[in-house]
Structure 1
Amino acid sequence: MPEPPTLVRRGRPLRIGTAAAVLLAVVGYVALQYVYGGKREPQCTVVSGTGDGASYTFTAGQAENAATVVAAGTSRGMPERAVTIALATALQESGLRNITHGDRDSLGLFQQRPSQGWGDQRQIMDPAYSAGRFYEHLAGVPGYSRLPLTVAAQRVQRSGYPQAYAKHEPEAALLAAALTGRAPAAFGCEGRPGTDPGGPAKVRAALARDFGGQVRPGAARGRTVTVRVPAPLADDRSPRRGWELAHWAVAQSSALHVERVSYGGREWRAGGSGEWRKVEEARGAGSAKAGGGADEVRIVTGQ
């Protein structure tokens, strides 16, 4: 890594440097105001499914990437341990942000290098592609699921700081439990309510991007996309797969302008606390049928 520039402590150069820093800060602030309409980026929270009070809060952009990483793993039949390793790796390498820079030619969520055969720049900057490549390499590590997380991640990444992955294991485990569907109603986001005429089409395209042919949503009806919960994967039960899809939709809610997600008699709504509520509480008694059963997830986009 190159040495940072040295601050010259002489009157005029220092004043110029300070002015430039202030200008950059103002430009950054204005850009954020433009992108988020004067508001901070929506937040997401994952909580422990064991009731021990553990939780982790992060941004909607990070949530979107986390959900894509998880979907790339489960669609390949990778176990939850593999998903935890992938999430911890991405948290360390990029903070779950799809960044365009890094050490030498490193790029993306996992800081993969085109010069090392991970793919070209366009491919690596696709989170679904880069996650898939990570899982391909992880699957080739003998006994990876029994190895300490730092060892398994290092066998893939060959980082100069292999022990750094360990500090991200707790939040990665929380995310993996929720986003694979093992912990029901454990993942919520504030969302970003808003109109999007192409909403249903974009939801269907995102499902195809992340889950491939394993998830086949029905034809959109108005603003609603209904996803039949597919047959269980390996030893999973259908409700677990359903909660994976429901949590995925919530994680993508800001990007896709999702207004409501319902599954198993519970509903999440954008613009609120991010919590899942029983349909009777969310819409009033007598409307349980609107919340979706154990065999379908309903995703409603903005008006």
Structure 2
Amino acid sequence: MLAALGVVVVGGSVVAVQQLDQSEVLVRERCSATVGANTFELTPTQAGNAALISGVAVNRGLPARAASIAIATAIQESRLENIDYGDDAGPDSRGLFQQRPSQGWGTQEQIMTPLYATGAFYDALVEVPDYESLPITEAAQTVQRSAFPQAYADHEPEGRAFASALTGNSPAALDCTLREPTGTGDALAVSIAADEVFGPLGGAADGTRLTMDVTGTLGWAAAQWAVANASALHITTVSYSGLEWARADGGWTSTTTEPGTLTIAVAGATP
């Protein structure tokens, strides 16, 4: 939409000013997970990282509890951001989980790669006996060896909510409120990004639209991964299992979909 012109009085003089479109000014971009009566919010960047963490758990066949632990840990360690500086634990702490090369987590380049860092976290977590039944503080601390182990429990509710949505266990539980896309999307790039997280999903991309044959919790995990990454990947709509998320409106509404087919449209797609 074109920007509108308005007038203000400055020192007794009338001055023309440009007023931005309302969507450019008032929209605070955010992603929310609603499970039961509770709703939690993250920024789009944080939500994209949470979706990666959950997607890797799905790809590895791990339970949603593993994703809950990992997300809560990353919230505490890095605010779910891929930070390239150390925390109080030491100057070589890096990445989503503030892992340290000096503790054998890998090189700085590796732990600054979210996919690698997440895999390394899960590699350690699954070695913790009965981690699924442990309090999150104990499970996370066994992996992280933090100076502030009790802090992990503070983030268990939002970790559980986002993990439930992003592993597909809570359908249509993730929503993102976003501005209009500023660039043109690429369905093939969306397919490649999804395959990196979930493993090959067999998507068919035509440049502006991606379709994938997925079912059940995997389908909902991939659908809500797409919503979480809508800002970064210029995604405009996500349709699955009789529901559609539309960037312009937010929320999930009823629509007609093919059974077992996930459809993702990116900016530039025709209706």
Residue 227 of structure 1 is matched in structure 2 by 212
2:97 counterpart (100, 110, 113):
110
Closer/same/farther in 2, CA of residues 129 and 41 from structure 1, 3 Å limit: farther
Which residue of the partner structure matches residue 265 of structure 2? 300
Using the aligned pairs only, state the percent identity. 46
Count of aligned pairs: 243
Q: Contact conserved, 1:191 with 1:257, CA < 8 A, in 2?
A: no
Q: Residues of 2 paired with 1:82 and 1:179: CA distance?
A: 12
Contact 2:185 2:267 in 1 (8 A): no
2:237 is the alignment partner of 1:260? yes
The CA RMSD over aligned residues, in Å, is: 1.7
Cα offsets for 1:128-147 (capped at 9, x unmatched): 11111100000111111111
Partner of 2:203: 217
Q: Are residue 248 (structure 1) and residue 241 (structure 2) matched? A: no
Secondary structure of the 2:236 match is strand
Aligned-pair distance for 1:254?
Answer: 0.2
One-letter amino acid matched to 1:45: S
TM-score, structure 2 normalization:
0.85
Segments of 4+ moved more than 2 angstroms = 37-41, 191-198
Structure 2 counterpart of 1:163: 150
- Unaligned 5+ segments in structure 1 are 1-36, 230-237, 280-287
Displacement of 1:110 in angstroms is 0.2
Structure 2 CA distance for partners of 1:139 and 1:275, relative to 1, 3 Å: same
CA distance in 2, matches of 1:39, 1:108: 31
Q: Could you say which residue in structure 2 is the equivalent of 1:144?
A: 131
Partner of 2:5: none
Q: CA deviation at 1:212?
A: 2.4
Q: Gapped runs of 5+ residues in structure 2?
A: 1-23
2:262 corresponds to 1:275: no
Q: Report which of the two has the higher share of strand.
A: 2
Once the 2 structures are TM-superposed, how far is the Cα of residue 116 of structure 1 from its aligned partner? 1.5
Question: Is 258-267 or 98-107 further displaced after alignment?
Answer: 98-107
Residues 34-76 of structure 1: CA deviation (Å, up to 9, x unaligned): xxx767661111101xx4x210011101000000000111111
Q: CA–CA distance in 1 between the matches of 2:223 and 2:236?
A: 13
TM-score (norm 1): 0.76
By how many angstroms is 1:255 displaced? 0.2
